[in-house]
């Protein structure tokens, strides 16, 4: 299999030179987030459907598990595709199987919902249509988790209303904190919503040890004292993920988009273990079990780097 370095925009971290695949951020992240321990318990996401709202997705690592594909931007619904790269990367990170780095939920089903153009641009109109589709089809496909690794320039409040409805139905939704750091910015109505999980981006530095994890400078954070920030943190730096059609990209900084995708995979495992678990219960568990980053404001990292096994053990203890 071929792993190609993704072209990095100016100001991005330098790509690691000759760093082994097993030290990539998402490979190490399976250990730092304790996902490997849930895999050892037999949790793989089987029979749970994760809906990915993004640029589409097509990759051999998702083969036979894409149970639905809808193109809300161009209406090309004949077969799955990805004319950007972002959706394939997020989908394989969350639920890929067979690549150089396992997805978090490698046996989950996927509903691939294309909401962007070929440049990855997204607007609220398509997102609202996609979330409405999730509402109408969640029982048919057992959609329990949604990942939305993007930001919106307008219409956030209307999208947040649909997110609230889905949350009340028991659907767990992740979104990315954004990549506007280190200058603080007030979070919008969607990313500040209590009805979803907003995920910040950290670097594990090729190590499974906790002491050297750091918040990525680009990860968005609100002004000091503003409580509406991230809920939790997950790895997003030095990521290996699927490339549309096959092979793989290695990203120096995938951003909080990739942190959200990994977290969506974790939520899929939670739903496999505890089908009735709610977002409020998960946020409580994360507050009690996540690992705070040193010298990082709470509103920038939320509860800290999530620990999947510890959080699931907490949830089970409350049943």
**DSSP one-letter string for 122-188:** B-HHHHHHHHHHHHHHHHHHTEEEEEE----SS-HHHHHHHHHHHHHTT-EEEEE--S--SS-----
Other CB atoms within 10 A of residue 17 CB: 6
Read off the tokens for 213.
């994890």
Give the other-Cβ count within 10 Å of 274's Cβ: 16
Strands 143-148 and 197-203: unpaired
Q: What is the number of alpha carbons within 13 Å of residue 248 lying toward its C-beta?
A: 22
Chain-wide mean pLDDT for the chain? 95
3-state secondary structure 196-246: CEEEEEEECCCCCCCCCCEECCCCCCCCCCCCCCCCEEEECEEEEEECCCC
Q: Which residues pair with 286 in a beta bridge?
A: none
Q: Are 236 and 147 in contact (CB under 8 A)?
A: no
Q: Average pLDDT of 144-160? A: 96
pLDDT digits (tens, 9 = 90+) for 115-128: 999 999 999 999 99
Instruction: Note the pLDDT of residue 80.
Output: 96
Range from 71-80, 103-112, 161-170, 205-214 carrying the lowest mean pLDDT: 205-214
For residues 266-293, average pLDDT: 98
Per-residue pLDDT tens digits for 5-61:
887 766 666 666 668 999 999 999 999 999 999 999 999 999 999 999 999 999 999
Q: Give the separation between CA 85 and CA 58, rounded to whole angstroms.
A: 9
Query: Running DSSP on this structure, what letter comes out for residue 291?
Result: B
Buried b (16+ CB within 10 A) or exposed e, 293-306: beebbebbbbbbbb
Lowest average pLDDT, out of 10-19, 107-116, 136-145, 277-286, goes to: 10-19
Distance, CA of 146 to CA of 254 (rounded, Å): 19
The confidence score (pLDDT) of residue 10 equals: 64
In tens, the pLDDT along 271-282 reads: 999 999 999 999
For residue 131, the model assigns a pLDDT of 98
What are the distances in angstroms from CA 238 to CA 6, 136, 175, 201, 319?
Answer: 10, 37, 20, 11, 37
What is this structure's pTM? Answer: 0.96
Residue 209 pLDDT class (50, 70, 90 cuts): confident
Predicted confidence (pLDDT) per residue in 218-241, tens digit: 999 999 999 999 999 999 999 999
Domains of the chain: 3-317 (3.40.50.200)
Helix (H) or strand (E) holding 53: strand 49-54
Judge contact between 161 and 190, C-beta under 8 A. no
Q: What is the pLDDT of residues 174-201, one digit of tens each?
A: 999 999 999 999 999 999 999 999 999 9
The answer, yes or no, to whether residue 253 has pLDDT greater than 90, is: no
Amino acid 146: pLDDT: 98
Q: Residue 42 burial (CB < 10 Å; 0-12/13-18/19+)?
A: exposed
Q: What is the pLDDT of residues 62-96, one digit of tens each?
A: 999 999 999 999 999 999 999 999 999 999 999 99
Minimal CA–CA distance to 193: which of 231, 219, 149? 231
């Amino acid at each position: 299999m071929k792993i190609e370095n993704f072209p990095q925009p100016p100001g991005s971290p330098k790509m690691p030179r000759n760093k082994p695949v097993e030290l990539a951020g998402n490979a190490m992240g399976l250990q730092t987030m304790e996902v490997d321990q849930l895999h050892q318990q037999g949790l793989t996401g089987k029979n749970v459907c994760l809906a990915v709202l993004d640029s589409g997705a097509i990759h051999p690592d998702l083969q036979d598990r894409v149970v639905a594909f809808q193109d809300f931007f161009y209406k090309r619904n004949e077969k799955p595709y990805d004319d950007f790269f972002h959706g394939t990367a997020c989908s394989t990170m969350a639920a890929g199987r067979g690549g150089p780095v396992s997805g978090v939920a490698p046996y989950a089903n996927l509903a691939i919902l294309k909401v962007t153009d070929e440049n990855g641009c997204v607007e609220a109109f398509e997102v609202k249509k996609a979330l409405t589709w999730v509402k109408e089809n969640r029982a048919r496909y057992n959609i329990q988790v949604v990942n939305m690794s993007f930001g919106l320039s307008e219409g956030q409040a209307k999208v947040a209303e649909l997110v609230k409805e889905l949350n009340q139905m028991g659907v767990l939704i992740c979104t990315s904190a954004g990549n506007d750091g280190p200058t603080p910015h007030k979070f919008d109505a969607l990313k500040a919503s209590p009805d979803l999980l907003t995920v910040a981006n950290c670097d594990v530095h090729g190590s499974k040890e906790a002491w050297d994890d750091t918040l990525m400078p680009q990860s968005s954070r609100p002004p000091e004292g503003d409580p509406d920030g991230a809920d939790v943190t997950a790895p997003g730096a030095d990521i290996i993920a699927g490339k549309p059609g096959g092979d793989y990209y290695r990203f120096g900084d995938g951003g909080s988009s990739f942190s959200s995708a990994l977290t969506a995979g974790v939520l899929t495992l939670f739903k496999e273990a505890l089908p009735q678990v709610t977002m409020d219960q998960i946020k409580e568990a994360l507050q009690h079990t996540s690992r705070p980053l040193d010298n990082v404001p709470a509103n920038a990292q939320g509860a800290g780097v999530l620990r999947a096994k510890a959080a699931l053990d907490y949830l089970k203890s409350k049943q």
